[in-house]
Structure 1
């Protein structure tokens, strides 16, 4: 990120700044220290994980709000829900010093006015919204978003919950009716892209809306374990063609790595699918040309197909937890600490005529650290 992001004006974290529970006392090791050498301001919108402590940590760090005063919460919710921690102000002051240079003075020093905002540039407006835990915008934020969207400049929406994800349409609801996508699709508002976090991988859906195309992007693969992409069916949502859909990691790489993960942990060697085997399996499953040519001939066997079924490449009643249930209750099973990590970040460059979005892979392997590979690129006209 430091190499690719050299000279950028600012960075944005698209939800879930602190994983898994948003504690204000974890900003030192999980935010200030990792980004201490990035020489520009960082802004953020909160995700559902940042709300798990009542948004106290996020508001204290990014908006310089006073510390939350915990309120008694009786009943079952009070017994089960995580209580906000008292922030150690001495540790927070020491952590802020890690990003204390004048060039870095931005949101981490309280410059954000709130958990939703708009950043103005000459050619583009970047609009960030807070979707909370329930994926609903309240009345105040809804009115603000409608007002801000009347600005005549082209716009990017940055949202905590992606609108198109895993071949499904999941727009955030608005108080009073309608969805956030109603605002995005309105041609008068001139949105050219909507980028959502939350899901730990990269996906892009170019959706035709009238006589234009809006790029709907999932970009949540920055920190925590990778969410599988091999469980995504052949894409057909919103008439997006499979060959126009992009994801990282590629489905075959996702399947291969999850097979390696479970084969090792369950000591079931037959589950392991080599990358070239997984590429061919997923091409057969999706019905498309493999996005990467396998090395050497590959004969797809019954063992390979059974392994793929057990790992969730096909709908199958007896499969290992690689989907939503696993991520909610057994996420530790999906975590690994050796490369490749299959993380990513986005780089946006803007001119008066064009916005270019590039997805860069972060694998943890030396060659990719020296020369970060571009996994996807899209150029969007702003004229």
Structure 2
């Protein structure tokens, strides 16, 4: 197996290396997404409108679920498969930008996934607004050679056009919902409806042509709705839809509690991770309680919770008071722009410390990646750019942790390196975070990060392979850098064995 980023800088994708062959898979023309483009932000306005004028996601979701039930979907929303006791499946999140970073994941995914039984996309299948017109180049084309079914959980971007395209693709070509009655004038709902982004009437004209790219019978699957459960071998995989703002409606919450019962070990897949960036986000269920209350209930036997939305990999092994350990995983590195990991402060949450925490890209690689990006954007390359060794050294100093990658020649941390690390929002130890947090940190990570798509390796993308057996699940995070070496032999950036008994 090839070196990972934890072994060498070359394993991370740095240095003079051969670019991968993934570009042969891409269409001749690709439309690059820029989240600094005002037109793109205007098209994706529904999330902001929902936070201002009320979130209609729960009501719309209930209408989709009722439509699927009337069409004959199983009442319990459980997909019952005939997988053996030992099988494998893939998880990748936040995939669909349709550009080089997404396609760079595909060669390694096909290699490591050639014997898997199915794959799951955990959040944001299509950017920027989940349009049916984008499914051809952002879903069907990149995964046309994956020979097994693909299931999906919608992310907030899939909801920006009220989930219509997602339902057409994954839920049996579900017809559009009939229009709702107009809200009363001068109410919050009325204001929201005036500004709400909706799909064009002619959207998806070429969807049937796109479907032909994944038309093999072995690739087909029909979901009972935007949330579902899969009984596969010895485990039950439960997928929940957290909509635009990360909330679970009362109807879905009641279903989640019911489908979580029973002795079968369970894995949650969610559009919003429960632990991320050193913080705990249990996510509320309408009517009371949280998603994590259900996950932690010992009678439900959850062993892992995997979420998308954040575009990197993180893992938090949380040990509960009763002695069980639940693996909380962020798996959003499937293709969209990279969210920084160097902004994550020294981890100390729910008993998980730096010794237990894992992330990809490594914080030093993330800082080196962003230093080059900002140097290029601000035309200050000589000031901002840090080598991977310099970035690793300044991260180790600021967080008071040993270097994650075996160090080479000693690196002296200079005032410039410290200043660049501070400007780019590098995390610190929790006891110093408030004192030294710069006011630009939030701006840089939330505004510039979404504009951080880059089209030359390393991309720091990833996907998960889970090998299931009667006694345990082995979870591995494979890297995709865009370089040939990692295409031929996708390195394992993290691995954990999760007991089932």
User: Structure 1-normalised TM-score?
Assistant: 0.94
1:153 Cα offset (Å): 0.5
Does structure 1 residue 259 correspond to structure 2 residue 375? no
Contact 1:127 1:155 in 2 (8 A): yes
Structure 1 pair 318–125 and aligned structure 2 pair: CA distance change class (3 A):
closer
Cα offset, 1:80, TM superposition = 3.5
Residue of structure 2 equivalent to 1:137 = 248
In the alignment, structure 2 segments of 5+ residues that lack a partner are: 1-108, 428-436
Tell me the residue number matched to 2:288: 177
- State how far apart, in whole Å, the 2-side matches of 1:220 and 1:70 are: 33
Whole-Å Cα distance in 1 between the matches of residues 160 and 441 of structure 2?
Answer: 30
Contact preservation (8 Å) 1:192, 1:213: yes
Q: Does 1:336 align with 2:426?
A: no
Aligned residue in 2 for 1:247? 359
Go from structure 1 to structure 2 and tell me whether the alpha carbon gap of 1:15 and 1:320 turns closer, same or farther (over 3 Å shift): closer
For the residue of structure 1 that corresponds to 2:211, the secondary structure is helix
The answer to whether residue 330 in structure 2 is matched with residue 218 in structure 1 is yes
The alpha carbon displacement at 1:273 in A equals: 0.8
- Corresponding residue for 1:22? 130
Aligned partner of residue 494 in structure 2, secondary structure: strand
Greater RCO (CA < 8 Å, at least 6 residues apart): 2
Deviations 1:289-317 (A, max 9, x none): 11102321101011110111111115212
1:102 pairs with 2:217: yes
The residue aligned with 1:52 is 160
Q: CA shift at 1:58, angstroms?
A: 0.6
Say whether the 8 Å CA contact 2:124–2:309 is kept in structure 1.
yes
2:174 pairs with 45, 65, 73, which one? 65
Call closer, same or farther: CA 1:82–1:192 in 2, change over 3 Å. Answer: same
1:7 equivalent among 115, 123, 126: 115
Offset at residue 70 of structure 1 (A): 5.7
Residue of structure 2 aligned with 1:92, choices 207, 227, 233: 207
Does residue 302 (structure 1) correspond to residue 411 (structure 2)? The answer is no
Q: TM-score, normalised by structure 2?
A: 0.73
Deviations 1:169-221 (A, max 9, x none): 11111121010000100111000000000000000000011211000000111
Partner of residue 228 from structure 1, selected from 323, 331, 340: 340
TM superposition shift of 1:13: 0.1
Cα separation, 2, equivalents of 1:311 and 1:38: 38
Question: What aligned pairs does 1:156-167 form with structure 2 within 5 A after superposition?
Answer: 156-167=267-278
- 2:273 and 2:330 in contact (8 A); partners too: yes
The C-alpha deviation readout for 1:117-160, integer Å capped at 9, x for no partner, is: 01112211000000111211112111111111013110000001
How many residues end up aligned between the 2 structures? 375
Q: Name the structure 1 match of 2:438.
A: 316
- Supply the distance in 2 between the matched residues of 1:40 and 1:145 (Cα, whole angstroms): 26
